[in-house]
Chain A
Amino acid sequence: MMVNDKYLYFPGCSVKRDAKSYEKTAFDVFGKLGIWVKELDKWWCCGATFGLAVDDVARHLGSVRSLIQAEQEGARYGTYKLLTLCPMCYNTLKRVNLLLKRDPGKLDNIRRYLRDENLDYKLSVEVVHVLPVLYEHRDLIRKNIVRDGSGIRAAPYYGCTPLRPREVAVDNPEAPSIMHVVLKSAGVRVVDFPFKTECCGAYVYAYNRKAVIGKSSMIILGAYKAGANVLVTVCPLCHYNLMLAYNSMKHKPPIKIIYLTELLAYLMGLDDNIPPEIKSFLDGLTPSVEGGGD
């Protein structure tokens, strides 16, 4: 395999349990694009949400341990870029990393926790989300497309964590476009819609389910009314909440909620890990003639 890019990889809980097809199709796509990815030998729960209290450094320790692991493996594999698929992992790891880089007092505090374990963090890791990686390799994506995506009208849904707060944003947080460009490169019709950066309701599902179903329904219907037949997400929690809302709808609009990498894998003919139900939905939108590409 030709190696075009190298990353260490932090999976997190979701892609190993509830969003397996997200990870598997992502790896199929990486393989095809020559993106070399090495999963960390060991990783810790990032915490899923960044602790906002200024006096609670211990909340960041899980993330710090994974950053240290990445730093150690980085020396061995020649890359300090740590890739994530889950944007909540991305957001948490990135913010912890940024906090330690900007605040020497916090770093010192963290070091005191780790001294007895002979661990230290030298701030060399860069946390990266899959969206800009795919964006960077969009020309390669275009070259590897084997299916006609002209019947697919995809609405890119970014949600919160890839974009906010702005200091960790993968793109312009008010008007993101990199997922639009990736999808366009893959040959589908891209449908812009007003709620592309709106919150799905996140963890509030456990406290006020009605609010989450309300928000997520608004996002689904917004995409559908804009003309989409596929709603594309990169987040396992958004996926869960959107499905919760979709399943609660009396009149279900003909729109499918799928992960970005599932759609890319489909268009690249990498069918092995696409859930059958999604494969057959996409088949229904694809003109029967296959093969071709560039």
Chain B
Amino acid sequence: MGDVIDKIIKISGRNVNLCYQCGMCTAVCPMAEYMDVKPHQIIRMIQLGDERVVEIDAVWVCASCMACVDRCPRDVGPGIIFEAVRLVSLRKGIDKIDYKAIEDLEAAPTLAMVTASRKYTG
């Protein structure tokens, strides 16, 4: 396995090889309809060692709602793995939001700002 995949496994502490591609995560994901690659497909890419996984938009659309983590019959924890995928970029200093580009930033409550900063900046 390449460095990126190793890093994802290490940061998440999860075992992607337990996944048998049942699709439960995608079925219960509230954001799946807005994702370019669906949750179970992302897990499959990691199983196959496909490093393009870090370029996927879907991991940034994940809201960490834990719907997939709670229901995964193999306890793979897809939502936890997606955080690791995000961190691979964030830890390189690649931020995913630009505060100046956020519409109505001044109207956003503190909680929205803090959560977004935690998830989209390194």
> Number of B residues contacting the other chain (C-beta, 8 Å)?
38
Residues of chain B contacted by A272 (CB below 8 angstroms)? none
> Number of A residues contacting the other chain (C-beta, 8 Å)?
41
- B96 pairs with A52, CB closer than 8 A: no
Question: What separation, in Å, do the CA atoms of A52 and B82 have in the docked complex?
Answer: 9
Binary interface profile of B, 54-95, with partner A (CB < 8 Å = 1, else 0)?
A: 000000111111110110000000011001100100000000
Question: What separation, in Å, do the CA atoms of A160 and B110 have in the docked complex?
Answer: 19
Chain A: which residue is nearest B110 at the CB level? A13
Chain B: which residue is nearest A59 at the CB level? B118
Q: Is the interface of A mostly helix, strand, loop or mixed?
A: loop
- A205 pairs with B108, CB closer than 8 A: yes
- B63 pairs with A13, CB closer than 8 A: no
Please tell me if A202 contacts chain B, counting CB pairs below 8 Å: yes
Residues of chain A contacted by B70 (CB below 8 angstroms)? 164-166, 173
Distance in angstroms from B109 CB to nearest chain A CB is: 4
Question: What separation, in Å, do the CA atoms of A236 and B109 have in the docked complex?
Answer: 9
Residues of chain B contacted by A56 (CB below 8 angstroms)? 11, 87
Q: Which of A54, A164, A237 is in CB contact (< 8 Å) with B115? A: A237
Please tell me if B20 contacts chain A, counting CB pairs below 8 Å: no
Q: Is the interface of B mostly helix, strand, loop or mixed?
A: helix
Please tell me if A209 contacts chain B, counting CB pairs below 8 Å: yes
Distance in angstroms from B25 CB to nearest chain A CB is: 13
Interface residues of B (CB under 8 A from A): 10-13, 30-31, 33-34, 60-67, 69-70, 79-80, 83-84, 87, 96-97, 102-103, 108-112, 114-116, 118-120
> How many A-B pairs fall under 8 Å by CB?
123
Residues of chain A contacted by B84 (CB below 8 angstroms)? 52-53
Within 8 A of B (CB), among A199-249: 199, 201-211, 214-215, 236-237, 240
Q: Which of B13, B30, B69, B112 is in CB contact (< 8 Å) with A206? A: B112
Question: What separation, in Å, do the CA atoms of A136 and B12 have in the docked complex?
Answer: 37
The contact sample of 15 A-B pairs, CB cut-off 8 A, is A13-B114, A47-B114, A52-B12, A160-B65, A160-B66, A165-B69, A201-B31, A203-B112, A204-B62, A205-B116, A206-B102, A208-B61, A214-B33, A240-B108, A240-B111
Please tell me if A267 contacts chain B, counting CB pairs below 8 Å: no
Question: What separation, in Å, do the CA atoms of A193 and B63 have in the docked complex?
Answer: 22
Question: What separation, in Å, do the CA atoms of A18 and B12 have in the docked complex?
Answer: 33
Q: Which of A54, A55, A207 is in CB contact (< 8 Å) with B116? A: A207
Please tell me if A49 contacts chain B, counting CB pairs below 8 Å: yes
Distance in angstroms from A46 CB to nearest chain B CB is: 9
- B83 pairs with A53, CB closer than 8 A: yes
Given contacts A49-B119, A208-B61, contact A17 B109 (CB under 8 A): yes
Residues of chain B contacted by A88 (CB below 8 angstroms)? 111, 115
Residues of chain A contacted by B108 (CB below 8 angstroms)? 205-206, 240
Chain A: which residue is nearest B62 at the CB level? A204
Distance in angstroms from B48 CB to nearest chain A CB is: 23
Q: Using A160-B67, A205-B116, A211-B34 as known contacts, list a sample of 20 further A-B pairs with CB atoms less than 8 Å apart, ordered by residue number in A.
A: A14-B109, A17-B110, A45-B114, A48-B115, A49-B118, A49-B119, A53-B83, A56-B87, A165-B66, A173-B70, A198-B30, A199-B31, A201-B63, A203-B119, A204-B60, A206-B102, A208-B60, A215-B31, A236-B109, A237-B111
Please tell me if A170 contacts chain B, counting CB pairs below 8 Å: no
Most buried by B among A45, A47, A207, A209: A207
Chain B: which residue is nearest A18 at the CB level? B109
Residues of chain B contacted by A17 (CB below 8 angstroms)? 109-110
Question: What separation, in Å, do the CA atoms of A206 and B112 have in the docked complex?
Answer: 8
Q: Which of B34, B65, B118 is in CB contact (< 8 Å) with A214? A: B34
